[in-house]
Amino acid sequence: MLAVLSDELQAGGFDRILFSGDASAMGFEEEVTRAAYLLKIGQAGATPGLAVPGNHDYCTASAARAGHFERVFAPWLVGEQIGDAIYPFAQRVGHAWLIGLNSSTANRWPWDARGGVGRDQLRRLEELLQRLEGGPRILVTHYPVWLASGRREPRVRAMRDLDAVVETARRGGVGLWLHGHRHTSYYHPPSDYAPFPVVCAGSATQSGRWSYKVYTLEGYHLRAQSRVYHAKDDCFHDGEAFELELTGGACTAQGK
Q: Give the integer Cα–Cα distance in Å for 165 and 99.
A: 13
Preceding amide of 144 cis, omega within 30: no
Quote the pLDDT of residue 254. 39
Classify residue 36: in a domain, yes or no.
no
Classify residue 62: in a domain, yes or no.
no
Q: Roughly how many angstroms between the first and final C-alpha of the chain, as a whole number?
A: 48
Bridge partners of 224, per DSSP, are 215, 242
Classify residue 125: in a domain, yes or no.
yes
Q: Give the integer Cα–Cα distance in Å for 203 and 129.
A: 28
Lowest mean pLDDT among 39-53, 91-105, 238-252: 238-252
Q: What is the DSSP letter of 157?
A: G
132 pLDDT more than 90: yes
Higher pLDDT residue, 56 or 253?
56
Classify residue 230: in a domain, yes or no.
yes
Quote the pLDDT of residue 219. 96
Domain interval for residue 181: 75-245
pLDDT tens sequence across 50-61:
999 999 999 989
In the chain, the percentage of residues whose pLDDT exceeds 90 is 93
232 pLDDT more than 80: yes
Total of domains in the chain: 1
- For helices 119-131 and 162-171, the axis angle rounded to 10 degrees is 10
Classify residue 63: in a domain, yes or no.
no
Classify residue 252: in a domain, yes or no.
no
Local structure of 81: helix, strand or coil = strand
Tell me the CATH number at 152.
3.60.21.10
Q: What is the DSSP letter of 193?
A: S
Classify residue 38: in a domain, yes or no.
no
